[in-house]
Amino acid sequence: MGCKHDCTGCKQECIDRAVQLGYENTTKYWGCAQSTFVAVVDTLREYGVELTDKESEEAIFKCLVGLSGGHANMGDGNCGALTGAAFAISL
């Protein structure tokens, strides 16, 4: 899966795939920060963009647990999905 060309259709396809994986991940991982982070990393990996290796990805995943649900699941602060996506983008 995944187009290797830089075209508008491919970008939308990539975005749609990340949204799909993010939704699926919430049923697997529950936490919004981890679900979003993994969705972005896995989608880009499918499209030939390797942001991080699997070992680092697992370590980052664990670090994001406390940032889900608006910091420590308290509902206060940034949404965990925003935090997870921002973390992936900053790699």
Residue 17 within a domain: yes
Q: What pLDDT is recorded for position 65?
A: 87
Domain count, the chain: 1
pLDDT tens readout for residues 55-83? 999 999 999 988 887 777 777 777 888 88
In order of 3, 46, 51, 60, the CA distances from 64 in angstroms are 29, 22, 16, 6
Predicted TM-score (pTM) of this structure: 0.82
SS3 content of the chain, % helix, strand, coil (to 5): 70, 0, 30
Q: What is the domain range of residue 50?
A: 8-90
Residue 3 within a domain: no
Structure token pair of residue 6: 């830089």
Residue 33 within a domain: yes
Residue 1 within a domain: no
